[in-house]
Amino acid sequence: MKTQYFTATTIDGYIADEHNSLDWLFEVGDKAGENPFASFFEGVGAFAMGATTYEWVLAHERALEHPSAWLEPYGDTPAWIFTHRELPVIPGANLHFVRGDVRPVHADMVSAAAGRNIWLVGGGELVATFADHGLLDEVILGVAPVTLGAGAPVLPRRITSSRYTLAEVRRLGQFAYLTYAVHPPA
């Protein structure tokens, strides 16, 4: 079981533009015909995201009006949403709204995942908090041939190379997939 951050990023290290848009990602498209997310998600038993990411799904996938936008990719896999405010619930989704320390939430996710992996969707600040506590095992970056110049960084922290070991490099269409093992802080 691993806790993994699987995300797409630009060459200059942003996961969203300064308006929290992912339009840049959809412009790249899937020219290789392979869906790396589908095979990745088969190993996921629980996942977490921040409120901004959840709100993006609500707005762009219209998941409240079309719950299938959530249920088709994620099924009944339990999701933890970190938020400090009330958010609407997607009908039929297995959601847990939480706040505060990531450590007890991670323990709950490990239990729910029943030996399968935990996916940290994002944003970068939430994932960095897991990393701060030594609760991040792997970072998988799908690097797209795009630069934004500003936006939401992959990880808005200084985490030096002593904590990362390059485990795999793979090319898929226009994307370079980089997988790093993450070591706990010293």
- Distance between CA atoms of 72 and 75, rounded to whole angstroms? 6
Dihedrals φ, ψ of 162, to 5°? -65, -20
Closest CA to 69 of 90, 86, 43: 90
- pTM for the full predicted model: 0.93
Helices (H) and strands (E) in the chain, counts: 6, 10
Phi and psi, residue 108, nearest 5°: -65, -40
**pLDDT number for residue 31:** 57
Q: What angle do CA 35, 41, 47 make, to 5 degrees?
A: 140
pLDDT tens track, the chain, 186 positions = 999 999 999 999 999 999 988 889 888 865 556 778 889 999 999 999 999 999 999 999 999 999 999 999 999 999 999 999 999 999 999 999 999 999 999 999 999 999 999 999 999 999 999 999 999 999 999 999 999 999 999 999 999 999 999 999 999 989 999 999 999 998
47 forms bridges with which residues in the sheet?
Answer: 79, 119
List the structure tokens of 175: 């994307």
Would you state the pLDDT for residue 32?
Answer: 58
Query: Is the backbone of residue 109 left (phi > 0), alpha (psi -120 to 50) or beta?
Result: alpha
Domains in the chain, please, with CATH?
3-182 (3.40.430.10)
Whole-number Å distance between alpha carbons of 154 and 125: 8
